[in-house]
A and B are shown apart, each in its own frame.
Chain A
Amino acid sequence: MNCQTFTEWLETVAAEGPNLELPRELHQHQVDCQSCRAELERWQATWNLLPAALAHEPPSTDLENRIFERLQRSSPPARTASSRLSSMFHDKSKRMAYLSYAVAAGILFLLATTTLWGPNWLFPQTGKDAQELARLQDFADHVEKLDQLESAFADPQIRYVSLTSLGTQEQTQGYLLYDDVAHQGHFYGFDLPTQANRIVKLWLLDRSQSVLSSAIVEIDSKGLGAAIIPLPKDLSVLDEIVVSFENDPGAQTPSLRVRMRSKVALTRP
């Protein structure tokens, strides 16, 4: 990764909208490179000229009181495991120590679960999972499926994986909840294409890119999509989850127009 690649990417996507979701390697580059970070902030500031030009009317006089009374009523904020973990990881000096604890705890957890319940641990819980959980809760708010998702998370036998758009449509995103009791995956996606002629398919692939199963994603008029897909009983064969645009609903393999893709994080001890 270098500055040229970063700026070329920025110039390509800067016109797409204000929320420039950086691919992982580009994000890491701008963390390390001050000039590229300044360039990214410059594009964000360019988009933010639009709200800045709006007529600024003063808020009603009691708005500040209402907001801060609400904050005080809620404080101290109920800190979840995910927020505690997240704040730990903001503190660089403590990060390594926490990571060591987390790795040790993770190994113990894996040993315990493998010993007690067998290989029923598809996605080991880590700090990253906790952050993903927070993001998933946001997603659940968005599609008003919080009850279903919360009950899914309350079940230790259900795991999930998130899928992020490979393109530059910032909000195209999806989650596959994995139910290893019923051997079914529940996919939810949002901001998917709503055109009637656009077919979106979900695919599960093994390591050789062979298709294990597929399902058509049903999409409503608001771009919210859902699908239930059969999962293999032997979870270890599952390697990748793909969402693609297709012309033919009977397609047997994903087309080249892949929209979302995620490697399944299998780490069998």
Chain B
Amino acid sequence: MTLIFWGYPIIKSLLLAFQTTSGPHSARFVGIANFAMLFQDAELTQAARNTLCFVVASVTLQVAGSLALAFLMQGASRSLRGAVLWTLLIPNVTGAVFAPLLFQFALADNGWLNQVLATVGIKPWQWLKDPDLVMPAVVFISFWLGLGFNTLMVLASLESVDRATIEAARLDGASELRTFWHVSLPQVRSTVMLIATMSAIGSVRVFELPWLLLKKSAGPDGSGQFIVTCLYRNGFEAGDLGYASAIGWGLTVAVVALTYLSRRLTSST
């Protein structure tokens, strides 16, 4: 069964990548035209640029956010830590499918975010209609979704840090922050790398969040266009499975490159 449902699609998508189709019947061999198109398709170029921007922003935010929170939570009482962690994990359970619906309305012109802003005297922003604001919105929601899990990972690995080294540093007069930065952090480096890699790979593959947030569209001026949304539009809305496969291979190259990069970074330290 593994062979059928993994092996066949992999080979088929390799074959399809050299064909053009409209619907599953009409395959026609086109050579490397699909791959050539990858580099000429303005829509895809924009999608790739958006995705890159999203990856950088969300990896930075996730790593910085989870480290900061873990630092704060480290010294907190057990019950407080448990409660906070539970609250942070709740968005994760809501998932990338239902969260966009919540935020469609939160970010609408008369949504509650603008209402909150109005109380402090800020004029309403058109979050999902302004090309410059779509990306921050998507980044923020994904931050909201993923932070809890990453914080959990950092906290768990902080427990394995050698207590003696921390106490020695504290006795030498180092502040809590300096101890965290210079003593604890180097010891949990591999976890931090793991978080960075996982959120990078997850972000390259982002689909549901922007797609459903923007009501199944590419957003204003294509600002909500990402690699996988592009794949979906070409393959399953326009019916060109061949071109979709080519995009899929492009995506795979990106993911494999990211994995390789993180392995290199982890092993060199």
Say whether A and B bind each other: no
B residues contacting A by CB (< 8 A) are none
